[in-house]
A and B are shown apart, each in its own frame.
Chain A
Amino acid sequence: AQSVTQLGSHVSVSEGALVLLRCNYSSSVPPYLFWYVQYPNQGLQLLLKYTSAATLVKGINGFEAEFKKSETSFHLTKPSAHMSDAAEYFCAVIGSTSGTYKYIFGTGTRLKVLA
């Protein structure tokens, strides 16, 4: 069965500092991995996705993630944090059962950006 684990439920960074949000996955098949962001009182929005093409995936708002099979990781990074990046971030993997599929989400990491 597929699953994801997000290390650190809360991360604080200073404005302009590197953002690193960690995600490790478990999958018996080549995984499809995603990062979603949730701003307060809004639905989740897709940041980026990995579907077995390039291992370094670039997303919106300057975020990127690198798929590392040897480490079973898909960490999210951004070189320089902005105040507007403060939100909750969810890593997700596609899981499939009986011919259908579903997104399996991690527990989330709340990013705080300090002025």
Chain B
Amino acid sequence: GAGVSQSPRYKVAKRGQDVALRCDPISGHVSLFWYQQALGQGPEFLTYFQNEAQLDKSGLPSDRFFAERPEGSVSTLKIQRTQQEDSAVYLCASSQTGASREKLFFGSGTQLSVL
């Protein structure tokens, strides 16, 4: 596609609900990142995929957070039993290869509000 696409754009969940956030990276991009951006803060790293391999999940805040990229393209971030502190914008970004100096292409994010 032309850019990184994320859906839904907005998600409202009741506390305790499970949610799934989708990321469609630019076609052919090897690397995919998920970030969490709380209000007034910078993006915080959650997890990193190189193709279908999840190479780093050190930023996932708890075992309620799970991410996958089974075919090396689309990725899903799942949050189980959502809590109010999970309210944030979830950003997905991709880059062409696995090289660390590459430009990241970001999606517009999914704004999650947990009531």
A107 with B41, Cβ < 8 A, contacts A45-B106, A49-B103 known: yes
B104 touches A97 (CB 8 A): no
* Stretch of B13-21, B42-50, B77-85 with 4 or more beta carbons under 8 angstroms from chain A: B42-50
Q: How far is the CB of B21 from chain A (nearest CB, A)?
A: 14
Per the 8 Å Cβ criterion, residues 1-55 of A in contact with B are 6, 9, 32, 36, 41-46, 49, 51
Residues of A within 8 A of B96 (CB): none
**A-B contact number at CB 8 A:** 65
B48 touches A102 (CB 8 A): yes
Number of interface residues of B (CB under 8 A): 27
Task: Say yes or no: is B65 at the interface (Cβ < 8 Å to chain A).
Answer: no
Number of interface residues of A (CB under 8 A): 27
Residues of A within 8 A of B109 (CB): 43
B56 touches A106 (CB 8 A): no
List 12 A-B pairs, Cβ < 8 Å: A43-B91, A43-B106, A44-B91, A44-B104, A44-B106, A98-B56, A99-B55, A100-B50, A102-B59, A103-B33, A105-B35, A107-B42
